[in-house]
């Protein structure tokens, strides 16, 4: 699983404005949910056959030593045709993937689609010549409630088919130091999860999958996070059809500048999105948008000053982080974006066509924990990368 203490260097600095986030809220459940109280033993007996142990190998050709890395994780079968859900940080970019079934059978796996930003991947294994693959039922994460009992199934530290139990600690939890593009509300649980649990199912007391375990806070006591299954279901068709999610690319990183920071710095700033870094080869670079060059640390957070400040995106004034999110969600690949920029005391208009966002080096952390159950992320201000 991802570990917030490991290697996600690019995530520590900026929130990626390169992609759009659709909020997935978790309203209160119906009273009928209370009637579903299947025993943990029964849930284990039903779900465990569909939970798999994933091993992967990565070879880094740019190293002279320590070139081979072995990764372990979990996943679960959702379709009798052999479709498996897991985390992207377990399966994406690997040279080989194998899946061990509950009965001990080891099969080769093929990556059908992955999204490193939401940390979701779907694999395919061969159908058995006899019999049928066991599957788990996908539930409705919108009906999950704080205090509800949860079960996690997976392979922590390589220990096959381990069941742990806990409760939902909070809903709609946005990790403080994730890029803007990764800010899907997650389910926080105190269910014990460890390295190797990554990609395993989080089950409610009906035996339904309501999340994919993905990250932990390593220095805390049982603070873990799961991707809501409704988010997974919403992107699964695109992952199967295209192999990835299509997002527009603005091509820069930055953070919101509000009245508090303006007052503190006493500089000629205006409210808006401060551009800190422009992606090489991006449409923003071609449009000559300017990044910052003066580094300052304010309350423990790094800020690069001197770049453009975007005050309006299309028809939306960027007066808050919520306004930035709203404006981003309206962008489409192939559409023209109109930016109003504050530069050296003057207002400048910039426009360009939005291409599809490519895969970027910072998309894959050096592992995954809040860090993903293999990676590193610190707490900090809201930064954006588009």
Which sequence positions are flagged as catalytic?
Answer: 89, 119, 198
- CA angle in degrees (0–180, nearest 5) for 253-178-380: 85
**β-strand 224-228 against 51-59: which pairing, if any?**
unpaired
Q: Side-chain half-sphere of 363: how many Cα atoms within 13 Å?
A: 21
Three-state SS string over 211-264 comes to: EEEEEECCCCCCCEEEEEHHHHHHHHHHHHHHCCCCCECCCEEEEEECHHHHHH
Phi and psi at residue 173, to the nearest 5°: -85, 115
CA pair distance 121, 62, nearest whole angstrom: 25
Q: CA 187, CA 139: separation in Å to the nearest integer?
A: 14
The one-character DSSP state at 122 is: E
- Length of the chain, in residues: 386
CA 56 from centre of chain? 20
Which residue matches tokens 């997002």?
Answer: 247
- 170 DSSP 8-state letter: E
- Rounded Cα distance between 344 and 336, Å, is 25
Q: From CA 205, how far away is CA 144, in angstroms rounded? A: 11
Give residue 199's region: left, alpha or beta (phi > 0; psi -120 to 50). left
The position carrying tokens 């002279």 is 64
Cα–Cα distance for residue pair 58/372, rounded to 1 Å: 17
Residue whose C-alpha is closest to residue 315's, from 289, 337, 293, 285: 337
Secondary structure class of 5 (helix, strand, coil): strand
Name the token pair of 87.
């985390």
C-alpha 351/C-alpha 315 separation (Å) is 13
């Amino acid at each position: 699983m991802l570990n917030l203490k490991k290697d996600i260097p690019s995530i520590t600095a900026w929130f990626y404005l390169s992609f759009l986030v659709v909020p997935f809220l978790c309203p209160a459940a119906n009273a009928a949910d209370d009637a579903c109280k299947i025993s943990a033993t029964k849930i284990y007996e039903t779900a465990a056959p569909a939970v798999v142990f994933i091993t992967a190998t990565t070879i880094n050709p740019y190293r002279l030593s320590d070139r081979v890395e072995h990764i372990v994780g979990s996943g679960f079968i959702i379709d009798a045709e052999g479709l498996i859900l897991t985390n992207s940080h377990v399966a994406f970019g690997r040279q080989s993937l194998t899946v061990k079934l509950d009965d001990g059978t080891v099969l080769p796996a093929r990556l059908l689609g992955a999204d490193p930003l939401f940390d979701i991947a779907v694999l395919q294994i061969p159908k058995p010549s006899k019999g049928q693959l066991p599957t788990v039922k996908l539930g409705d994460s919108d009906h999950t409630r704080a205090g509800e009992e949860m079960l996690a199934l997976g392979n922590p530290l390589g220990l096959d088919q381990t069941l742990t139990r806990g409760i939902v600690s909070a809903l709609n939890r946005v990790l403080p130091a994730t890029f803007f593009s990764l800010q899907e509300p997650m389910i926080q649980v105190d269910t014990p999860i460890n390295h190797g649990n990554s990609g395993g199912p989080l089950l409610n007391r009906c035996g339904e999958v309501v999340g994919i375990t993905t990250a932990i806070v390593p220095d805390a006591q049982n603070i873990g996070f799961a991707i809501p299954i409704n988010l997974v279901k919403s992107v699964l068709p695109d992952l199967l059809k295209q192999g990835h999610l299509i997002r527009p690319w603005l091509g820069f990183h930055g953070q919101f500048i509000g009245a508090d920071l303006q007052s503190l710095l006493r500089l000629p700033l205006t409210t808006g999105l401060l551009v800190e870094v422009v992606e090489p080869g991006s449409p923003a670079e071609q449009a000559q948008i300017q990044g910052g060059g003066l580094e300052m640390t304010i309350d423990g957070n790094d800020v690069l000053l001197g770049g453009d400040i975007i005050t309006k995106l299309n028809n939306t004034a960027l007066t808050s982080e919520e306004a930035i999110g709203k404006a981003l969600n309206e962008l489409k690949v192939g559409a023209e974006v109109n930016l109003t920029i504050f530069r050296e005391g003057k207002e400048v208009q910039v426009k360009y066509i939005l291409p599809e966002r490519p895969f970027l080096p910072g998309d894959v952390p050096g592992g995954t924990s809040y860090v993903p159950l293999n990676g590193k992320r610190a707490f900090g201000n809201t930064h954006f990368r588009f």
